[in-house]
Amino acid sequence: MQQLVPEETTTSLRVTPKEFAEAVADIEMRGDQKNSGEHVSIPEAITNLGLDVNPEDVIAVIQSRRAAEGRLRDAAVQKKIQRRKRLITAALGLSLFFNLALIARISTISSGGGVETNESGMTHIIAGKTGTVHFSHPFKYAPNVELIGAGMAKTRITDIQMDGFTWANTGPDDAVNTGEEAWTAKGVR
């Protein structure tokens, strides 16, 4: 449904060539949506519109605009790729930082911030009895203690503290369960 426009408005309205071209292009595009499968050659379009322009000039402008659009699209893609590279680099950097911090934290916790040391000694085991061994210097945390002697199969460590450990022998009162027993303690001081 077309709207009638008074004649004096259509003849007295002044427009720039750009406004006129954009208006005609919009009208043509609306018509093209109905006939979207149809294409027209540039010389045909110039003739149909009654324009006085050179087809080569129109082709040059169209190719220039398409190239500019392509460069803009390529620049946008490159910008997006660069942004992703920066994000990935930052994420990898943060991951590396946190992993190193975690490793340092675990190392500090496992070593307790001190120095890992060993202490060894001998203790006299008596069959059916218990005893306590005191370390020369206390450990920061309860160390790992191991009895080394092969003959005292009935001797067990019952308690480990930072300053020493307690052993108990459950064997019968005989020569096999009484004697000297070697031990070693490994921990952090």
What's the pLDDT tens digit per position in 64-83? 888 888 888 888 899 999 99
Q: Is residue 44 domain-resident?
A: yes
For residue range 44-61, list pLDDT tens digits in order. Answer: 777 777 778 888 888 888
155-160: strand order across its sheet: 130-134, 164-169, 155-160
Q: Looking at the chain, which runs of residues are DSSP E strands?
A: 116-125, 130-134, 144-147, 155-160, 164-169, 179-188
In-domain check, residue 157: yes
- Distance, CA of 136 to CA of 56 (rounded, Å): 100
Q: Which two tokens stand for residue 115?
A: 């120095």
On whether residue 87 sits in a domain, the answer given is no
Tell me the per-residue pLDDT of 20-37, one tens digit each, with 9 for 90 and over: 777 777 777 676 555 555
Give the residue numbers spanning the domain of 41.
12-53
Assigned domain for 110 exists:
no
Which phi and psi angles does 136 have, rounded to 5°? -65, -35
The CATH code of the domain that includes 141 is: 2.60.40.2080
Structure tokens at 52: 């006085």
In a domain, residue 74? The reply is: no
Number of domains, the chain = 2
- Whole-model pTM? 0.42
- Residue 23 in domain: yes
**27 belongs to a structural domain:** yes
